[in-house]
Every structure is written in C-alpha cells, then in structure tokens.
Amino acid sequence: MTTVGRRPIPPHRAHPLYPGVPLQYTRLVIAAGVGTLLLTGCSEGGQEGAGAGGGSSAVRDVVTEADIVLPVSAYLFTPEQQAVIDTAHSTLASDCMKRFGFDWPVKKAEPVKVVSRRYGVVGEKIAAEHGYHVIPSPGDKEHAEGAVSSGAKLPPEAYIIYGAKSGKTGAGGSYQGKEIPQGGCIGEAGRKLGLDKVQDPAKGKIGLLSIDYSSFGKAQETPEFKKAQNEWVACMKKSGYQHTAFLQPAEKYAAQGNSASPEEKVVAKADVKCKQETKLATVLVRAETQIQNDYIEQNAAGFAEIKKDQGAVIKSANEALAN
C-alpha cells in the first residue's frame, strides 16, 4: 500500500523514487501503503497510536497485518469514504455524459480493504495461506478494467468526452456545439467533488506521502531496529535460510507465479515466526509512529488543512448522491 524518500536497505537496489524501498519490493509496499490520497487505508485495524504526539507507548504489538496502523492513516480516506467518493464521481460523470446525449452507466463502488505488506508478511494465517503474495481484493479486476468498459457499446467519441481516451483527456474541444470539459466528464466530476484540492501537488510541502515513505527508512536507522533485524537474521539462519535483510524473502517469492508455492509458504511461516520472536515488526511500527507523530505535530496547520479539504470532498460526494 506501499504507495516517498527512504534510504536504501543494502544490498538491494532501491527504487529511484522511493529510495528506502528495494526496487523489487516497491509494488508490494505501494499496495500496502498509501500510494495516492485516494487509495484505500492500509489496514483493517483501528487508529491506535494515530494521533499527533501519541508516542510509541500507544502502539500495540504487531501480531497480524491489522496491527500495522500508522498516524498518517488518519489523514487518508477510509475504504468506506472512498467508496462513497468513487460512486459520486461516477454519478457526476454520468450526469455530464447525459448533456452530450450519452447514457453512461453509474458504477457503484464497494469498500475495498487492503491487507498491509509494509513489513512483509507478519501474520501466521496469511503466511500459511498466501505466502508473500498480495491477497487479491474483490474489486481488483473491476478497478483494472476501469469504468470505460461500462461504455463499451458507445461510439468512439463518447470515450473522448468521458475523458477515457488515451491522449485526449485534457484536450477539451467541443462535440455537437457543446464544449467538452477539461479532462472530459471525469475531470469535471473530480473538480465538482474537490478532488483537485486533495490531490494538489502544492500540498507536497506538508509531506503527507513523503513522511509515510520516509519514516519507513528512518525507522530502519534506529538502533532498536538494527538489533531486531540482526536477531531476525540469526533466527532465519537457524531455520536454514540465509537472508541479510527482512524484506529479502518477499522480494524473492512475491514475483514468482500468481500464487504462493508450498516452498514459499514454508519460508513465510518461518519468517513470521522469527518476526514474532524478535518483535521486528513491532519495533518498526513503534519507530515509524513516533517519527510520523513528530512530523504531524510540527506541521499541524498543514495537516489540519488536509482534513478540511477531505471533509469538503466527503460532503460534496454525499450531496451528489443525495440529488
């Protein structure tokens, strides 16, 4: 979720945009983390320890993936809120299409919760069932296909007006004497909801996404983590596995096939056992929580602005669905 500046974890080559995340593991971290402001939350758990100044003492031990909840989660839309926003966005885009004479179906979104892979696999059940592979969510296939498939029987110009035609989304222009909105109907719908505000690059100075990613690398620089990782390495060695960094098993197996092999599941279970014995994931989440809390407290006004803009989006979405 997973989806930014971190420091590299030797000996792996880091992603150029996310320096602390090994290149091979970036996809899993983005899937488990936040990626964009409109990605679903990274855990099904609550918001323990997610307030400014909460400190590491408020963070529970990590036993399952649901225990990985960081302070920035409070500044992202929940899966339920995101579903409302997505449905409202589809509704407004459909209304726009009607102005041009096209009946574009509305797609009702459902909440999609993502199981965290931020620290690899940490729960015994998931290790045994899925290994290091990301659990497919019910909405993955539909999301990949996109709303464009809903208008598959419409003429080509409908795609341009909708804003889904590659290279045409920002072209504007007109159709039968009516001006096409910038970015098409999906662009217009986004502006009506205020999504342009929550996605404003200028908000980068607040560092919502930056701190979510950089805290991952900074946490690995702490003495507590280095000690835990050394213990994890020793534990894995006793089980017959030679790894020098805790993300290595995930890097090796996650890209192999569409599902976990029996061998992968065995390694994942050993990995989880060692993580629990050394409390490696707990050390990481506590360190990251402290780092993020400190940053949020230092930039309180900016984070308050983020919450305000998100509240406005949710209000607009509810109003759009009520009409």
**Among 66, 64, 28, CA closest to 48:** 66
As given in the structure block, the two tokens for residue 181 are 């909105």
User: What is the share, in percent, of the chain residues with pLDDT greater than 70?
Assistant: 72
> How does residue 58 score in pLDDT terms, banded at 50, 70 and 90?
low
Cβ atoms of residues 90 and 147 within 8 Å? yes
3-class DSSP assignment, residue 41: coil
Report the range of poorest mean pLDDT among 23-27, 142-146, 222-226, 305-309: 23-27
pLDDT for res 208: 79
Kindly tell me if the per-residue pLDDT of 218 is higher than 60. yes
CA distance 218 to 211: 10
DSSP string, 115-156: PP-BTB---HHHHHHHTTSPPPPTTHHHHHH-GGGGGTTS-H
Of the ranges 142-151, 252-261, 268-277, which is most confident? 268-277
160-189 in b/e burial notation, b at 16+ Cβ within 10 A?
Answer: bbbbbbeebbeeeeeeeeeebbebbbbbbb
- Spell out the alpha helix ranges (H) of the chain: 26-32, 79-99, 124-130, 140-145, 156-162, 184-193, 195-198, 208-219, 223-238, 248-253, 262-278, 280-298, 300-322
Of the ranges 5-14, 64-73, 262-271, which is most confident? 262-271
pLDDT for res 201: 65
Q: Which residues contact 62 (CB under 8 A, 6 or more apart)?
A: 68, 119, 122, 275, 279, 281, 282, 284, 285
> How does residue 204 score in pLDDT terms, banded at 50, 70 and 90?
low
Kindly tell me if the per-residue pLDDT of 57 is higher than 60. no
Report the range of poorest mean pLDDT among 9-18, 57-66, 212-221: 9-18
**Among 310, 288, 307, 262, CA closest to 67:** 288
User: What is the share, in percent, of the chain residues with pLDDT greater than 90?
Assistant: 54
> How does residue 174 score in pLDDT terms, banded at 50, 70 and 90?
confident
Query: Cβ of 246: how many Cβ atoms within 10 Å?
Result: 24
Report the chain's mean pLDDT, rounded to a whole number.
78
